[in-house]
Amino acid sequence: MRAVVLHEFGPAANLRYETVPDPVPGPGEVRLLVKAAGVHQIETAMREGLEIGPPLPVLPAIFGAEVAGVVEAVGPAVDDAWIGADVVTAHGRPGGYAELAVADVSSLHRIPAGLGHDAAVTMVVTGATTMGLLDIAELTSDDVVLVTSAAGGIGRLVVQFAGRLGATVIGAAGGPAKTAAVRELGADVAVDYNLPDWAGAVRDALGGRGVTVVLDGVEGDKGRAAFGLLAQGGRYITIGAASREEFRPDEAELKERGVHFTDALAILLEGQDAAADEARALTAAADGNLVPAFQAFPLSQAAEAHAALEARATTGKVILVPDAHE
């Protein structure tokens, strides 16, 4: 099969599209003909060899645990009825950056009717994480919600949810195109946080109202600015650091302003019922309650996909799809 393989930690260009042996499903496993694979922000750091979360893979490695496809073979003790099923998993191996991948049958979700492989792979982790984040945030119609990285995979889903709930939604994203996309999602206020006084623009737009909740997936300087917009007694909830620059509010300032800080990502990594949230996310997308957005790259262009994600030049979830000519 054709796959994208990392032989040496380093830049995106180290991802090589080449021929490797087909994986063989073992007991309790199935083999998938991959139709779409998710690309995760943390994979770009792991590709560089940065130890910032999961253990680094043994090289050579194929990334991509998020896989949607068609079951085309089963291992021992697996019902043949799975063959031909459209499924998605968050636990593909050796990885979904390939034409074929294997997964434990217990990790599979049948893709709901009307949902494509691309949308399913967008929701299986990004959507599940969003569901867990929203459980933690406990948003209400009275909230004024500021979402950073609002044009990203999680950000777009949060903007939709909060808007449907009736909350006032401020979406912050980088550049005119992303800001326009956030506005089209229904955000009450959309700002370009690459501009120097974006926080001032938010204050002006709110006309004296304060932000009650920040859902921040960027951290760094932008997270600090977002935190500064919170009203007395507000909530600052972080779900990751796309900037790769951590921001943690000062304890004294938190106490003085009565602001509650929550590291949602840490909570989810420790105690999330991932399988249940995956199912909820897929159902929400199939029902049309949440509309996943993705930007697809051909499998052979995985290096370009990584580079674009690192440059924050993508909108929605980044996914890889089989090359059209193959």
The three-state (H, E, C) secondary structure of 241-289, written as one string:
CCCCECCCCCHHHHHHHCCEEEEHHHHHHHHCCHHHHHHHHHHHHHCCC
Is residue 120 situated within a structural domain? no
Question: 69 and 202: one domain?
Answer: no
Is residue 119 situated within a structural domain? no
- b/e per residue 123-147 (b: at least 16 CB within 10 A): bbbbbbbbbbbbebbebeeebbbbb
If one counts the domains in the chain, the total is 2
Q: What pLDDT score was predicted for residue 324?
A: 80
Q: What pLDDT score was predicted for residue 270?
A: 84
Is residue 34 situated within a structural domain? yes
The residue ranges of the chain whose pLDDT is under 50 are 326
How many Å apart are CA 144 and CA 46, to the nearest integer? 35
C-alpha count within 13 angstroms, C-beta hemisphere, residue 113: 0
Q: What pLDDT score was predicted for residue 326?
A: 47
Question: 16 and 60: one domain?
Answer: yes
Is residue 162 situated within a structural domain? yes
Question: 168 and 34: one domain?
Answer: no
Structural contact between residues 296 and 319, judged by C-beta atoms closer than 8 angstroms? yes
Is residue 214 situated within a structural domain? yes
Tokens of 290: 């949440």
Is residue 8 situated within a structural domain? yes
pLDDT tens for 237-263 read 999 888 888 899 989 999 999 999 999
The CATH number linked to 27 is: 3.90.180.10
Question: What is the domain range of residue 63?
Answer: 2-110+293-321
Question: 92 and 136: one domain?
Answer: no
Is residue 288 situated within a structural domain? no
For 52, other C-beta atoms within 10 Å of its C-beta total: 12
pLDDT tens for 150-196 read 999 999 999 999 999 999 999 999 999 999 999 999 999 999 999 99
For 86, 104, 305, the CA distances from 35, given in Å and listed in that order, are 10, 17, 16
Is residue 299 situated within a structural domain? yes
Question: 84 and 166: one domain?
Answer: no
Q: What pLDDT score was predicted for residue 325?
A: 57
How many Å apart are CA 95 and CA 173, to the nearest integer? 30
Tokens of 167: 């909350």
Q: How many residues does the chain have?
A: 326
Question: 133 and 261: one domain?
Answer: yes
How many Å apart are CA 203 and CA 91, to the nearest integer? 43
How many Å apart are CA 191 and CA 214, to the nearest integer? 14
Q: What pLDDT score was predicted for residue 106?
A: 97
Structural contact between residues 70 and 83, judged by C-beta atoms closer than 8 angstroms? no
Structural contact between residues 228 and 253, judged by C-beta atoms closer than 8 angstroms? no
How many Å apart are CA 143 and CA 166, to the nearest integer? 9
